[in-house]
Amino acid sequence: MAKKIITTTGGANIPNNQKSLTAGPRGPVLMQDYQLLEKLAHQNRERIPERVVHAKGWGAMGTFTVTHDITKYTRAKLFSEIGKQTPILSRFSTVAGEAGASDTERDVRGFSVKFYTEEGNWDMVGNNTPVFFVRDAYKFPDFIHTQKRHPKTNLRSNEAQWDFWSLVPESLHQVTILMSDRGLPTTPMHMNGYGSHTFAFWNNDGERFWVKFHFKTQQGHAHYTNTEAATITGQTREKYQEELFGAIEKGDFPKWTLKVQVMPEADAEKVPYNPFDVTRVWPHADYPLIEVGELELNENPENYFQYIENAAYSPSNIVAGIGFSPDKMLQARVFSYADAHRYRLGTHYEALPANAPKNATVQHYHKDGAMRFFQNDSGTPDAYYEPNSKDGPVEDPSVMEPPMKISGDVSRYEDQDEVGNYQQPGDLFRLFNDEQKERLFGNIAAAMEGVSQEVIDRQMVHFEKADPAYAAGVKRHLKATKNK
Ligand code: NDP
């Protein structure tokens, strides 16, 4: 069989890819050896800015299949009939570590799914935890600073982490999950995914429901202790990639069951808690899980960078039948995620193969810009503005979301809530068995290494308010660590 020929980026055959063009055998190199310059210039441009958060990731392609009818809640066509399948692209990640960080660090995991639906892409950009550390986006960049490197030492700082958490009691719920077994899953396959925020569903009759998404692992939960994870990191920093990629290559396809909690729109005013607060869950007893379908990952992309690094998930990608809620963090992420991708990948990031809809046509009037490598004028080049009488694409009022009633005065509201900050972390703590509680105490004591007494004392008050046994356990472990 004839060998494939290496070409320039312009498609011309290359005569030699090993030897520089030199004036005599001892050089120097000629400026006109353009392909050498091109090769070096390409190498300099192989990296794009890594994500500020969720830089290290693993992902795969797969399928979502509807198993139960939820058409009374949403008109989204991806849920229109039992058995319906939609291709998906999933990416999992750690939050704080850089792109080369070890996979097996204690951290929240990102859990994102892009559904390539016939009505456009729907991105579910969640985590493996049902809640988040802060409920207002004003706190988000500061929180992330505490997870990243100290500006002077260039080291991660336990002091900064606990200083912030102890001053922001709404973080206790997520801190408790992070320090529990579920803060260190063995693989992306052995964890749940959650939409975390409250979203909206709306149906063909124009009724709105509030909704929370839960992806329950069918592989079961599995976790490392800190000690086990340290051993793994000593052996490989790429454990998750090895496990996820390897399982899919073997045909051992991981699956999750998608379930939703659904709240009628009017209930939002009645429930005793703010249902749009991302630091809280909706108790299952109040809003039971309703089964919807199954997510399966079954294909490794041929090129990691093209499909996983270039994957751009943003909660701004919704389809008719799915909407936002007043959740303050969600509202901010709708802007922030798309903006991160504009910075990271460029203006036209949505046209990259990982992000372009597979089952819907793209027709818009955004023009030009860097890397405008696609055409979407639908064969009518005179229609490059709107409105026009040149047969250009027009709006579709049938996908208009029903109006949302808002009550209340415009203000900056107090977001500290004594009951809300402590009730659910306490409920979670009381759900743990004795061994789980011991590991929680131990993980917290380890994470508090080097932290000042003042900060520890302030944090202990929060543990105490969630459950006195929580504070007592941490205290005991801190003492044991000190006496070592
Ligand atoms: P339930 O007893 O009905 O639900 C408990 C939930 O906790 C289940 O979803 C379960 O997930 C999850 N869970 C079990 N063990 C752990 C663990 N070690 N770490 C983290 N999550 C765990 O109670 P409620 O709905 O009243 O919630 C009680 C507490 O459970 C909440 O305060 C919250 O912290 C936590 N929780 C609640 C969720 C919700 O949406 N209501 C979701 C996840 C956690 P699984 O079925 O996958 O094992």
Which of the four pLDDT bands, split at 50, 70 and 90, describes residue 232?
Answer: very high
Atom of ligand 1 nearest to the CA of 282: 41
Query: What's the angle, vertex CA 205, arms to CA 200 and CA 208, rounded to 5?
Result: 20
pLDDT bin (cut points 50, 70, 90) of residue 415 is confident
CA 232 to chain centre: 24
| Integer angstrom CA distances of residue 231 from 108, 179, 464 | 20, 19, 33
Using CA atoms of 73, 78, 84, 87 in order, give the dihedral in degrees to the nearest 10. -150
Share of the chain above pLDDT 70, in %: 99
Please give the positions annotated as active site.
54, 127
Residue nearest to atom 47 of ligand 1 (CA): 216
Separation of alpha carbons 121 and 42, rounded Å: 32
Q: State the pLDDT at residue 426.
A: 98
Q: Tokens for 438?
A: 């011991």
* CB crowding 187-225: b at 16 or more within 10 Å, else e: bbbbbbbbbbbbbbbbbeeeebbbbbbbbbbebeeebbe
**pTM of the predicted protein model:** 0.96
Q: Is the CB of 281 under 6 A from ligand 1?
A: yes
CA 137 to ligand 1 centroid distance, Å: 25
- 467-483 average pLDDT score: 94
Ligand 1 pocket check for 130: Cβ under 6 Å? yes
Give SS3 for 189.
helix
pLDDT tens readout for residues 339-374: 999 999 999 999 999 999 998 999 999 989 999 888
Q: Residue 484: which pLDDT band, with cuts at 50, 70 and 90?
A: low
CB of 192 within 6 A of ligand 1: the answer is yes
CA angle 183, 290, 287 (to 5 degrees): 75
Ligand 1 atom closest to the CA of 432, numbered from 1: 18
428 touches ligand 1 (CB under 6 Å): yes
Residue whose Cα lies nearest atom 44 of ligand 1: it is 130
CA 129 to ligand 1 center in whole angstroms: 10
Residue 428 Cα to ligand 1 midpoint, Å, equals: 7
pLDDT at residue 454, as a whole number: 98
- H/E element, 430: helix 418-431
Structure tokens at 125: 């950009």
CB 237 within 8 A of CB 100: yes
- CA nearest neighbour of 343 among 52, 144, 46: 52
As a whole number of angstroms, the distance between CA 166 and CA 461 comes to: 9
Query: Quick one: 283 exposed, middle or buried, by C-beta within 10 A (0-12, 13-18, 19+)?
Result: middle
Rg (CA), the chain: 25
The domain spans of the chain are 57-149+160-357, 424-482
Work out the number of other CB atoms within 10 angstroms of the CB of residue 253: 15
Tokens of 453: 């007494």
Closest CA to 444 of 158, 59, 135: 158
The reply to whether CATH 2.40.180.10 applies to domain 57-149+160-357 is yes
Give the pLDDT band of residue 96 (cuts 50, 70, 90): very high
Ligand 1 site-directed mutation target among 290, 428, 436, most atoms within 8 Å of CB: 428
pLDDT value for 375: 81
Cα of 255 vs centre of ligand 1, distance in Å, is: 20
> Does the beta carbon of 462 sit less than 6 angstroms from any atom of ligand 1?
no
The CB of 262 under 6 Å from ligand 1? The reply is no
Report yes or no: 321 and 209 within 8 Å, Cβ to Cβ: no
Going by pLDDT thresholds of 50, 70 and 90, the confidence category of residue 395 is very high
Tell me if 179 CB under 6 Å of ligand 1.
Answer: no
Residue 152: how many CA atoms within 13 Å on its side-chain side? Answer: 1
**CA–CA distance, 29 with 149 (Å, rounded to integer):** 43
Specify the amino acid at residue 65.
Answer: T
Ligand 1 in reach of 176 Cβ (< 6 A): no
Ligand 1 pocket, mutate which of 184, 422, 431 (most atoms under 8 A from CB): 431
